[in-house]
Each structure stands twice: as C-alpha cells, then as structure tokens.
Structure 1
Amino acid sequence: MLRNIIGTFATKVITAGLNFIIVLLTTHYLGAEGRGEISLLVANITLIVLICNVVGGPSLVYMASRHQPFQLALPSLLWALLTPLWTGAGLVLADQVPAGLEMHLMLLAGIEGVYSVSMMLILGWNLIRTHNLIMLGRGFVLFVVLLSLFYVQQPQVMHYIWALYAGSGMVLLVSSVVVFPYFKEISFRSFKSTFRAVVRTGATAQFSNILQFFNYRISYYFLNYFADTRSVGIYSAGVMLSESIWLVTRSVASVQYAEGVNTDDAQKAVQVAFRLARLCFLASLVLLFPLLLLPDSVLTWIFGRDFGDVGGVIRSLAIGTLSVSVSTVLCTYFSGQGRFYVNNWVAGIGFIALLPACFLLIPRWHVLGAGWANSLAYLASLVYVWITFRRETGFRITHLLPTAADWRLVRAFLRRS
C-alpha cells in the first residue's frame, strides 16, 4: 500500500508541477482576466463531470469488482453523453460561461465525462499504476501542446482550450484501450438490479462530491458575480498554491479508497485511517508553513503584476487547507465501507456554513472574503467528520502526533527500496 501511495504521490507531484508551469504561463501571458476565464471554464467542466458521475462515478470503484463491467458502464456512459447538454445550457443561462466558449464547454465536459467512466473502472480493478500513468500523460500532453501554441502564435485563451482537447482526447483513447479487454461478457442478465445499484450508489456517493465541489469552487461564481473575472483569476492563483498542499492527502486517499473497498478487515481499515491522518496532517503543516512566509513581492514576481493579492488569499485559506488535509482521510475511511451518507453530511454542513459566509464576506472583501468563507466551511466539515469518526473509533487529537511504529514503518520501507 505504501508503494502505491508513493507512486500516486509522485504522479500527482509531477502533474502539479506541470499545472503550476501552465498557471505561470497563463498568468504572465494572459493576465488576471485571461486566467479568470480559464478558471471559470475549468470549474464549469468539473461541475458538469461531477453531475455526469451521478450515474456511476466513484461508486464504480466500489462496484467494479462486484458487478459485470458492461452493465456498470452502459448506463454511466449514456448519462455522461447527455448531461453536458442540459447542465452546460444552465451555466450559460446563469452567465457563468466566458463568451465564445459555450460549445467548447459542452464538448470538453462530454469527453471528460466519458473517460471518467473507464478511469473509475481502472481504479476499481486496483490498476493504480496504470491510472497514474494515464493521468501523468494527460498533464504532459496538455503542457506540450499549450507551450507549442504559445510559442508559434500570440498567446490567447483558445490555446488553452485546444490543449485541453489534446490532453482529454489522449486519456479517452488510452483508457478505452485499457478497459476494452475486460468487456468479454456482454449480457443483460440481472441488468435491472445492477442498473438500480449503479444509480442508487452513484447518486448517494456523488451527492457529497457535488456539494464538496461547491465548497471548493462556488466562491469563483460569487466573485464573478460580485466582483469580476479578474478577481476570479487572482483568487484561483492563490487557491492553486494552497491546494497544492493537498497532493499528499489526495494521493493517500485514492490508494486508501482502492484498498478499503477490497478489504473485509474493519480493524485494519481503522488503523490505516489513524496512520494516514497523521501523515497528511504533519506533511500539510510542513508544506504550508513556507507558503505563509512568502512576501507579496515574490508572489508578484512569480505570477505577474496583476497578482499582488495572492499572498492574502493563501493566508486566508490556511486554516481551511489544514482542515481538508485531515477530513479527506477520515471521509475516505467511510467511503471505503460504502457509507457515503457520512460524506454527504460532511459536505452538506460545509455548504451550509459556506453560503451565508460568501454572501456576507465576498461583496465587501472580494478575494480575501472568499478565502475566509472557504476556511470556515472546511473547518465546519472537519469538526463534523472528526466527531463522527471519534465516536466510532476513539480517535483523539493526540493521534495526529507521530508514533514509534510510524518511524519503524518508514525505515523498513526505505531499506526495501
């Protein structure tokens, strides 16, 4: 398991590095306005794909080893093809899509919605290395295509769009080739019960993910409404740096989930959650501290003259950043047991705290208000999942401190490597 975590973490670090360079390219050459358009587009695509995953989605990871692949994929793919049309239209009517990008939004969301089905199956079959390599390839393709377009022409937002088509198209092609051999049996026997399970489990699991998306990104929409696209660009740069801290947590969670759904040892799952919560908290604390010390002049030099407020965004998000590092591991513990309703409550409580905070803070303080609002929501979510997990397992705050067993595990791994 530790090897899978490290492999996943390495993949995410490389991908994050490529994404960081892409952010720098867009902030320097397109400014806060262009970066804001890109951030809104990506947020919209993510939202549509989350709705695509209401049928199937992360629940496919849980069900992949328990049901026939064809019967899992068929309803998921049909829903993924239809969803971008009506959700994209809703976002356009809400005036949250940059002008001229409406059709690209629907097409890109459709591509990502379709390939997410095969990627979930790959993860569910515990092909973690394959999953990592495909996502790493997406990052490289996106980066190379964007850099090439910026080099040969005057940089513009459409260059990022074409790079997205290239990266997403590659994932669609390769993931389809990987999963195709698993579809040896095509049968509709017991399809009705499988379909019900896909919809019921997917909707339950994805409801929390959609709410969590709003917890992470609804501030973009508030900023776009109460301020402007330029503010979205500045805020997104600060969010990108803050969320880079979650590389450890997200790497841990993806492996923890894949392992959790394939084990019947409840006590082992609890012990793993204890250890991983410690790892994520301590690693996030170490990574966050240098970011808080960066002066605004350095951040302006990194991102460009439009981004002088990025330091304030990072500081306003600090408490929330640490909160998510721990709550993600605790939520993944419940997901691995198929108890997605706990995560629904976690996300719902965060959303309930976030909405009034956005209305109160963003109109007055703009990007700083958005950061404070998000931190409040993340902290509220952590408090709830912490209490729930503690009642079940006896987890205490002292369990976030490293133990002798943790050091022995690290030393043993290093000797084997």
Structure 2
Amino acid sequence: MKEAIFKTFVSRFLILILNFGLVIYSTNMWGSSGKGVISIIIADLSIISFFANIFVGSSMSYFARKFRTEEILSFAYIWAVLIGILVPVIFSFSRSAEYFYFLIALSVTSSLLSANINLFVGQQNIKLFNLYTILQQLVHIVFIVIIVYVIKFASVNAYFVAQICCFVLLFIASFFQISKSLEVKKIAFSREIGLKLFSYGWKTQLSAFLQFLNNRLSFYYLEYFKGIVSVGIFSVGIAFSEAVWTVSRSLSVVLYSDVVNSTDSNNAIEKTKISLRVSFLVTLLFLVIMLLIPADWYAMIFGKDFRQTKEIILWLAPGILAIAVSNIIGYYFAGINKLRILNVKSLAGLLFTIISSFYIVPKWGIKGACIINSASYCLSSGVLFWRFYQITEFHIRDFILSKKEIDLLIKKILKIHA
C-alpha cells in the first residue's frame, strides 16, 4: 500500500502543478469576471456530477469485483447520458441559457469518463487511475493552447470547448482499455444489480452532495450579495484548497480500493492511519509554503484583482487542513459501508454554512465567506474524528511519520532521481 500511496502522491503533485498553471492562465487570460464564469459553470457541473455519480461514482468501485463489468458498466453509461441531459435542462429554467449546451456536453462526457476511472479503482488498478487523473489536467491544457493559439478562438468559451474535447478523448482511450476484457454477449440489465448500485450510490452521494454544498454555497451567496467579480477572486483561494486536497483525495482512493477488497478490519484501520498522517503532514507543508509567499507575488502571478489571495488562504487554512485529514477517514467509512456518519457530518457543516452565510456574507463579503467555510470544514471534520476514534485508540503518532516510513520515502525519491 505504501508504494501505491507514494506513486499516487507523485501523480497528485503533478496534478497540483498543472492545476495551478491552469488557474494562473485563466485569471490572466479572462480576468476575475471570466474566472467567475468558469467557477460558476464548474460548480453547476459538480452538482450534476453528484447525481450522475449514483451509478458512475463509488458504486462502480465498490461493486467492480462483486459483479461482472458488463453488468455494471451498462447501467453507468445509460445513467450518465440521462442525468447529463436531464439535470442541465432543469437548471436552464433558473439560470442563463448562454452555457446550456456546454453544460450538457460537459456533464455527459465527464460522467462517462468517471465511470471508467472508478472502475479502475475497484479493480485496484491505481496505475491507470493515476494516469487518467493526470491526463484530465494535461490534455485540457493542450486543447486550450490549440484552440486559443492555433484556431484563434480566445473567448472564455475556449475553456469549456477544450474540456469537452479532453473528456471525449480520454473516455475513448479508457473504454478501449476496458473493452479488451468485455464480452458483448454478457451485457445484461439485472434489476437486482441495478437496485444495489442505486442503493449504495445514493447513500454515498448524499454525503458527498451535502459536503459539496457546504464547499460551494459561498459562491452563490457571494454572487447574489457581492457580484460575479467577488466569486472570481474568492474562487482562486478555493482553487488552492482543492489543489492541496488532491493529495488527500488520491490517498483516500488508494485506501478505499484496499478497504473494499479487504476482510481484515484491523489492517484496514492501520492503513487508514498511515494515509491520515501522510495527508496531514503533506497538507501542512503545502499550507506553510503558500503562506510564506508574499501577497504581492499572488497579484503578480494571477493579476492585480487577486491581491487578497494570501489573506483568503490564511482564513481558509484551518479548514483546509481539517478536510485533508477527514477525507481519509470518510473514505474508510465508505469502504466498510458505514455511510450514516458521512451524512451526519456533511449535514452539520451545511446547516452551519446556510445559517451563518445569511448574516456574515452580506456584511463581510469574501472574508466572511472564508471564515464560514473554514469553521464549517472544522465542524464537519470534528464529527468524523469523534466517530473514528470511538472505534480505535487515539495516538499523537497517528499524525507523525515513523523513521521507517521516512527512510522508505527517501529511498523512493532517490530511486526516481537515480
């Protein structure tokens, strides 16, 4: 597992760099207003993805070794297309129709690709999972360069066109790899399997959706009370948060893949604690680095509108660290099919966000949104910590790498550079 964690960490570090590059480019290319549009559309896409993920998300991973691929992939693909069309149509009644067709294309293609990637996780093919997660960033950037500088299409729409092209290409490539082991004659639609996929999927996605609302409601409050520009400025700080979280989320995926395929509960807890301390220390390191960077550098890198970025990161830092660690524990509970606690922690954070945002965001704007997010993250994470340490003993060493683990990490790094 430690080798898988290390490889996943390296891949997530590459994604972190690519993601920062994309954020820097988009803020300089399209400004705070364009970044605000991108953030709102991606937030809408994320909401749609939660509905799609009932079949294409963790259900694919959880049941990958329990049923034949032909029996679960067919459900996932059909659901991806239906939700990818239906939910944007519902959204169109309350939001601008300007990006309606982009949203449909993004929803369908991203969901189809997610089905394939999550299947790799369930099959414990972490190598392919890491590869396609990196390629989602890298290929997106390549298509942006082609569309903006070769085709000469430079509006903010280029961002979405490039992302659609990226999803399509990666879906075709990943399906080609999956199809090598598929038998068309065995494709079937079992009511029993469909109900099991749905039952597990909606329970995990309910928690994820509540947590997403907890993460993203501030965007909509800021847009309503302070305008789209404030969303663009605030979104850069959130982009830093999510870039840092790619490490913990990827470690969580490795852990989840191991837990759902394990019958030893003590071993699963030990693996959770290993992932927990790696996530804690790496996230802390990234936060220290980001807070040491002078505020003027952020303005120079992202544009003069983004001088507040360092202050935003500072206010978000406690919550970023809390979520980075609780992500690990959350995936442990998902892996052992204990989903109620995930819903409880997400609901606690969401209720706090909804109630406090009405009073704080109109008064304090971006700073208020940061304080609310950070406090909410700490509250929801605290619920998970409390439950996890009810079933296991708490030790300070859970957050400190052992000498043996440090030596192993150094050897791996030296091996890469040899």
Calculate the TM-score normalised by the size of structure 2. 0.93
Q: Name the residue aligned to 2:224.
A: 225
Tell me the amino acid that sits aligned with residue 384 of structure 1: V
Letter of the 2:93 counterpart = L
Segment drifting more, 125-134 vs 240-249: 240-249
- Paired residue for 2:201? 202
After superposition, the Cα gap between the structure-2 partners of 1:167 and 1:394, relative to the gap in structure 1 and judged at 3 Å, is same
Q: Which residue of 2 aligns with 1:141?
A: 139
Residue in structure 1 matched with residue 288 of structure 2 by the alignment: 289
* C-alpha contact (below 8 Å) 2:116/2:175 kept by paired residues: yes
Structure 2 CA distance for partners of 1:131 and 1:404, relative to 1, 3 Å: closer
Which residue of 1 is the match for residue 374 of structure 2? Answer: 375
* Equivalent in the alignment of 1:249: 248
Mark the CA change 1:138 to 1:114 in structure 2 (over 3 Å): closer, same or farther. Answer: same
Match of 2:120 in 1: 122
Q: Is the Cα–Cα contact under 8 Å of residues 36 and 232 in structure 2 kept in the other structure?
A: yes
Cα deviation 1:94-141 (Å, max 9, x = unaligned): 33x5x5211111111111112211221121111111122223223222
Instruction: Give 3-state SS (helix, strand or coil) of 1:306's partner.
Output: helix
* 1:240 paired residue number: 239
Partner of 1:75: 75
Q: Distance in 1 between matches of 2:100 and 2:28?
A: 25
Aligned to 1:92: 92
What's the CA shift for 1:328? 0.7
Q: Matched residue of 2:263: which SS?
A: coil
Question: Aligned letter for 2:248?
Answer: T
Deviations 1:126-180 (A, max 9, x none): 1111122223223222111212333243631011111111111112111111211
Change (3 A) 1:189 1:110: closer
| Cα distance in 2 between the residues matched to 1:239 and 1:167 | 23
Task: Identify the residue that residue 361 of structure 1 maps to in structure 2.
Answer: 360
Runs of 4+ deviating beyond 4 Å: 185-190, 411-417
User: What's the counterpart of residue 102 of structure 2?
Assistant: 104
Q: CA RMSD in A?
A: 2.1
Kindly provide the CA deviation profile for residues 281-321 of structure 1, in whole angstroms up to 9, marking residues without a partner as x: 12211210121233321110010011122122111101100
Q: Deviation of residue 391 (structure 1)?
A: 0.6
Contact 1:208 1:347 in 2 (8 A): yes
Alpha-carbon shift at residue 6 of structure 1 (Å): 2.0
SS in 2 for 1:54: helix
Letter in 2 for 1:214: L
C-alpha displacement at 1:51, in angstroms? Answer: 0.8
Q: Is the 8 A contact 2:15 2:134 kept in 1?
A: yes
Distance 1:234 1:298 in 2: 15
Q: Report what 1:37 is aligned to.
A: 37
Distance 2:255 2:180 in 1: 26
- Distance in 1 of aligned mates of 2:193 and 2:21: 43
Deviations 1:65-94 (A, max 9, x none): 001212212222222111123321333333
Please list the CA deviations of residues 41-61 of structure 1 after superposition, one character each: whole Å capped at 9, or x if unmatched.
111112111111123421210
CA separation of 1:280 and 1:118: change in aligned 2, threshold 3 A:
same
**Alignment correspondent of 1:298:** 297
Question: Unpaired segments of 5 or more residues in structure 1?
Answer: none
Structure 2 counterparts to residues 139-218 of structure 1, below 5 A: 139-152=137-150, 153=152, 155-184=154-183, 186-187=185-186, 191-218=190-217
8 Å contact kept, 1:146–1:159? yes
Q: Contact conserved, 1:316 with 1:375, CA < 8 A, in 2?
A: yes
- 180-189 or 341-350, which deviates more: 180-189
Amino acid at match of 1:80: A
* Residues 283/140 of structure 1: CA separation in 2 closer, same or farther (3 Å cut): closer
Letter in 1 for 2:71: Q
Letter in 2 for 1:293: L
Cα shift at 1:236:
0.9
The count of residues paired between Structure 1 and Structure 2 equals 415
**Relative to 1, partners in 2 of residues 1:109 and 1:407: Cα closer, same or farther, differing over 3 Å?**
same
Is the Cα contact below 8 Å between 2:319 and 2:378 reproduced in 1?
A: yes
> Is residue 33–residue 230 contact of structure 1 (8 Å, CA) maintained in 2?
yes
**Matched residues in 2 for 1:189 and 1:118: separation?**
18
Structure 1, 221-230 or 289-298: larger mean CA deviation: 289-298
Task: Give structure 2 stretches of 5+ with no counterpart.
Answer: none
1:39 maps to a residue whose letter is S
- Secondary structure of 1:53's counterpart equals helix
Partners of 1:416 and 1:13 in 2: CA distance? 17
Q: Which residue of 2 aligns with 1:264?
A: 263
C-alpha distance in 2 between matches for 1:334 and 1:267? 14
- Partner of 1:394: helix, strand, or coil? coil
> How big is the shift at 1:188?
7.3
Task: Verify the 8 A CA contact 1:323 1:378 in the aligned structure 2.
Answer: yes
Which SS does the other structure have where 1:65 is aligned? coil
Deviation, 1:398, is 5.3
1:167-201 deviation per Cα after TM superposition (whole angstroms, max 9, x unaligned): 11112111111211332264477922211111101
Cα distance in 2 for partners of 1:31, 1:275 equals 41
Comparing 103-112 with 82-91, greater Cα deviation is found at 82-91
Bigger mean CA deviation after superposition, 177-186 or 379-388: 177-186
1:113 corresponds to which residue? 111
Which residue matches 1:327?
326
CA distance in 2, matches of 1:93, 1:221: 17
The one-letter amino acid of 1:341's match is R
- CA gap of 1:254–1:302, structure 2 versus 1, over 3 A, is same
2:23 is aligned to 23
Instruction: Kindly provide the amino acid, as one letter, of the partner of residue 241 in structure 1.
Output: F
Deviation at 1:409, TM superposition (A): 4.7
* Kept in 2: contact 1:62–1:338 (CA 8 A): no
| TM-score, scaled to structure 1 | 0.93
Deviation of 1:416 (Å): 7.5
For 1:55, what is the secondary structure of its paired residue?
A: helix
Report the residue type matching 1:201 in the other structure: Y
